[in-house]
Chain A
Amino acid sequence: MASIDATNDATRRPFEGRRVHLGDVLLKGVAGAAAAGGVALVGLIAWKVIDGARPSIAKYGIAFVWHIAWNPVPGHEIYGAASFLFGTAITSFFALLLAAPLAMGIALFLTELAPRGLQALVTALVEMLAAVPSVVIGLWGILVLGPQLRIHIEPWLHSALGFIPLFGPPSAAGASIFTAVIVLAIMILPIVSSISRELFLGVPHELKEGALALGTTRWEMIRGVVFPYARGGIAAALILGLGRAMGEAIAVTQVIGGGVFIHWSLFSQGDTLASKIAAEYQGATSNLDVASLIYLGVILLALSLVANIAAQYIVRSVARKHGVTRGGHA
Chain B
Amino acid sequence: MSSTIQQPMSEPSIKVETRRQPMPPRERLETVFQVEDLDAIYGRKTAVKGVTMEIYKNLVTAIIGPSGCGKSTYIRCFNRMNDLIPGFRQTGSVRYHGQDIGGATIDPVAVRRNIGMVFQRPNPFPKSIYDNVAWGCRVLGMKDSLDERVERALTQAALWDEVKDRLKASGLSLSGGQQQRLCIARAIAVEPDVVLMDEPASALDPIATQAIEQLMHELKGEYTFVIVTHNMQQAARVADMTAFFSISRGGEGERYGELIEYDATEKIFTAPSDKRTEDYVTGRFG
Which A residues are in CB contact (< 8 Å) with B121?
Answer: 206
- Could you tell me the distance in whole angstroms from the C-beta of B64 to the nearest C-beta in chain A? 22
Report Cα–Cα, A210/B34, bound state, in Å: 25
Question: Which residue numbers of B lie inside 8 Å of A, CB to CB?
Answer: 79, 81, 84, 86, 109-114, 116-117, 119, 121, 123-127, 135-136, 139-140, 172-176, 179, 183, 186-187, 190, 192
Question: Which residue numbers of A lie inside 8 Å of B, CB to CB?
Answer: 116, 204, 206-207, 209-217, 220, 224-225, 228-229, 325, 328-330
- Could you tell me the distance in whole angstroms from the C-beta of A101 to the nearest C-beta in chain B? 22
Majority SS of interface residues in chain B? helix
Q: Is the CB of A210 within 8 A of B173?
A: no
Report Cα–Cα, A24/B186, bound state, in Å: 59
A215-B110, A215-B192 are known contacts; what are 8 more A-B pairs with Cβ within 8 Å? Answer: A210-B123, A210-B183, A211-B136, A214-B139, A215-B109, A216-B140, A325-B126, A330-B172
Report Cα–Cα, A328/B126, bound state, in Å: 12
Q: Is the CB of B109 within 8 A of A329?
A: no
Report Cα–Cα, A289/B72, bound state, in Å: 73
Q: Is the CB of A209 within 8 A of B123?
A: yes
The chain A residue sitting closest to B132, CB to CB, is A210
Q: Is the CB of B183 within 8 A of A215?
A: no
Which B residues are in CB contact (< 8 Å) with A210?
Answer: 119, 123-125, 183, 186
Which A residues are in CB contact (< 8 Å) with B192?
Answer: 215
Q: Is the CB of A116 within 8 A of B109?
A: no
Q: Is the CB of A328 within 8 A of B172?
A: yes
Which A residues are in CB contact (< 8 Å) with B172?
Answer: 325, 328, 330
Report Cα–Cα, A278/B16, bound state, in Å: 83
The chain B residue sitting closest to A220, CB to CB, is B139
Report Cα–Cα, A228/B84, bound state, in Å: 21
- Could you tell me the distance in whole angstroms from the C-beta of A286 to the nearest C-beta in chain B? 58
Report Cα–Cα, A228/B127, bound state, in Å: 9
Q: Is the CB of A211 within 8 A of B125?
A: yes
Q: Is the CB of A207 within 8 A of B125?
A: yes
The chain B residue sitting closest to A216, CB to CB, is B139
A-B contacts, 8 of them at CB < 8 A, read A207-B125, A209-B81, A211-B136, A213-B79, A214-B112, A215-B110, A215-B112, A224-B139
